[in-house]
Structure 1
Amino acid sequence: MEFGAKNRADRWARFENHARAVSFDRLPQEYKDAQWHFHPTEFIKHFRKCGWRSLRELVQTMPRKSSGGAGGDISWDDAWKRWELGNNKHGYMPPGMNIAINRMWSKYGFFTVRRQAHFLAQIYKETGALRGTSEDGDKRYLRTMYEVLTLDEAGEDYDQKRSWLEAMGFLKKRNRQNYVAQRPDEISKKAKALGNVETGDGSRFRGRGLIHLTGRIGYSAYEKYRSRNFTTDLNAQLLSTDSTSAADSAGYFWVSKMMDSSNTGALRNGLNIHRRADIGTDNANVAAVTTPVTGGKTGLSERQEFLEYVLFILGDSAEISDKLKIKIQNDK
């Protein structure tokens, strides 16, 4: 016992000498007299300032069960794979998205829960809950959506896809005669606005990325910004096959999108979707964020559903609305 006590005393003496060697001298008396404590909630708040989300956190933001138009049934393993390993079933999602999106958030200022939640709500709907980063559609669809639509094709669409046209907001309560007469000109104006001037541009510059960058002008602007080729056929595909480009192009779109509106309610005029996301999280705010992403309100209810769930996971929400058919994601 005597040896043990002496040994402990020696170790303590060595520790004291070390502590004095690395300590500051002549500290203010107020500092010495103060009692220093970390308040638990303030301690947590400090660490939450780090915007980097772990893979586990990101997986939790994808609900186990949601409405069919949102994500449907997604197991923990499937959600984990989509974030880390990608997806090649019913679409394509490049691997490593968990790293790419964190780097993008750091680059473009997604520092708050509200900004991250709004962004995730949008990309979950845009990508089918991380199932794909490229707009679906055959050559006929992409040509008639982004290049040219003939009168006969407009008639075929009205007769065969009327429900879809109405759901997408293209029908605008028009009868067949008016739709066929007006829709081709609408597509022509859209193609001009997108800069699709060459045959095949509709397919070549289809929507790609976590938020779909679309059209020759959009691809060219991003190409100039990144100082990297994205307008040749193979390089254009990088926006959907490379996780860094798929995420970065979405961040670029988010902070560079020009919005033309009044500064009232949930709306904010000028650059940057962040400005609308910062205002709030109710349904009007989701609609205001959705408009610059989709050009309308396509899939608005699903985006609202995703937002409420992500805020519950990442934020301080105590519960989820009973109206939502949501099941929380977990590893059990």
Structure 2
Amino acid sequence: MLTSSNAVTPRERSEFLQQVGDLVRQAEELGLSAALSDAPRRRKPGLAIDLQFFRSAADGRLRPVSGLKALRPLGDSWEASDPRHRWGSVDGAVTFEMLRAAPRPASARPVTAAMARPVGAAPRGAGLVAAAVGVRCANARDDVQTVQLLLNLCGEARRVVLPEGPLKPDGAFGRKTADAVMAFQHAALGPAAVDGRVDPGGTTLRSLCESLPELLAPRCLALLCLRAADADITEFAPRLREVLAARAIHTPLRQAHFLAQIGHESGEFRFRAEIASGQAYEGRQGLGNTQPGDGQRFKGRGLIQLTGRANYAEYGRDIGREAALLKQPQLVETDPALCVDVAGWFWGKRKLNALADADDLNTLTKRINGGFNGLDDRRRLLLRAKSLLGI
């Protein structure tokens, strides 16, 4: 239910509804559906809306999401976006308010540009292709694979009938890909637009990207991490959604930086543990490797490469499994839930959301890696993530 006091102006009401729209879109990014609650209640001066949230269960039915803990990322984002905003739970519904009373004190958390959804942002996917794809074009592997994946998405959305069915996204531009590009142009843009080319920022690319799913859908993650196996993406996607919600990684900029960093650290979801043996960490007191064999036993594992006995112990304590992880540290690699969760834990422990809000790739990389190893690749993944988010 939407309620307002008599003192609210039409402009304030319009502003509030736009902010609620942003909130609902953020909920959708977290895999939640929102519905109005019709429970009447008395209000403070200002505007308020009561919402109920649902999540799809394995049987396809919508199940209500109860408890503020699961919805805290939405509440934190709501309060961060405007000093007049408050949220809370009343009679099973979640209330989001815009008060007309005195704003929160100046000592409260400031609003940053990264905490709000960008206004006038670029179309999603605008920067996914670096050079032209088509006959007598550069046809770089990543660009061709991106176009192939986008064409398959458009085929699934029934925007085009691909002449020979879904393409194999192998990054090789051949006759099947050329025919599919022209079929899409004819179906989506009209006969006059058929030239067999997909140019960076061009009309064909923009139209292809109209079928992009939300960021954490497996098909979209495949566009972010082109080298990832479908099985790994399918396994990690729901767990990533949970971690982003639990660690308040709920703004587009935070999500872009988080996914870029774990994408690089894991070789685009291909490696759940570092390839090296870990012998180089042997005897490293700073990592807590005090016993013979600790270097190899506690080598880097998980999507952000947890390393060292001390870090395994700390993570284990925080999740109530210290003894198990010290006895079987390989669980961080073999258990998909832990493999993803440890990345969110590390992100939260190092307070990396603040660096993501500042769009500070260099400092963020140093905080994770201890230096700037792989900075160019992290930047490449960050640009792709931003493009998929439209920022």
Q: TM-score, normalised to structure 1's length? A: 0.54
Q: Which residue of 1 aligns with 2:278?
A: 142
Q: Give the distance between the partners of 2:341 and 2:370, measured in 1 at CA.
A: 20
**Identity rate of aligned residues, in percent?**
28
Change (3 A) 1:101 1:29: closer
Q: Map residues 186-225 of structure 1 onto 2, 5 A cutoff.
A: 191-225=284-318
**Larger proportion of strand:** 2
Report the alpha carbon displacement of residue 60 of structure 1 after superposing the two structures with TM: 4.5
Deviations 1:188-233 (A, max 9, x none): 5xx0100111111111111111111110000111111111134334
Deviations 1:294-330 (A, max 9, x none): 111111111111111111112x34xxxxxxxxxxxxx
Q: Map residues 273-288 of structure 1 onto 2, 5 A cutoff.
A: 273-280=352-359, 285-288=360-363
Q: Map residues 146-295 of structure 1 onto 2, 5 A cutoff.
A: 146-147=281-282, 191-228=284-321, 229-234=323-328, 236-257=329-350, 272-280=351-359, 285-295=360-370
Asked if 1:57 corresponds to 2:136, the answer is: no
Q: Give the distance between the partners of 2:273 and 2:319, measured in 1 at CA.
A: 20
Q: Give the distance between the partners of 2:227 and 2:316, measured in 1 at CA.
A: 37
Asked if 1:125 corresponds to 2:264, the answer is: yes
Asked if 1:302 corresponds to 2:377, the answer is: yes
Change (3 A) 1:28 1:215: closer
Deviations 1:245-282 (A, max 9, x none): 1122111111112xxxxxxxxxxxxxx111111112xx
Contact 1:62 1:129 in 2 (8 A): no
Larger radius of gyration: 1
Change (3 A) 1:312 1:53: farther
Q: Give the distance between the partners of 2:223 and 2:247, measured in 1 at CA.
A: 29
Report the alpha carbon displacement of residue 45 of structure 1 after superposing the two structures with TM: 2.1
Asked if 1:83 corresponds to 2:233, the answer is: yes
Contact 2:253 2:386 in 1 (8 A): yes
Contact 1:125 1:299 in 2 (8 A): yes
Report the alpha carbon displacement of residue 44 of structure 1 after superposing the two structures with TM: 4.9
Q: In the alignment, residue 83 of structure 1 is paired with which amino acid?
A: I
Contact 2:312 2:326 in 1 (8 A): no
Q: TM-score, normalised to structure 2's length? A: 0.46
**Larger proportion of helix:** 1
Contact 1:104 1:247 in 2 (8 A): yes
Contact 1:210 1:246 in 2 (8 A): yes
Structure possessing the higher relative contact order (Cα contacts under 8 Å, 6 or more residues apart)? 1
Q: Which moved more, 1:97-106 or 1:44-53?
A: 44-53
Q: Which residue of 2 aligns with 1:182?
A: none
How well do the aligned residues superpose, as a CA RMSD in angstroms? 3.4
Q: Give the distance between the partners of 1:28 and 1:193, measured in 2 at CA.
A: 59
Contact 2:313 2:326 in 1 (8 A): no
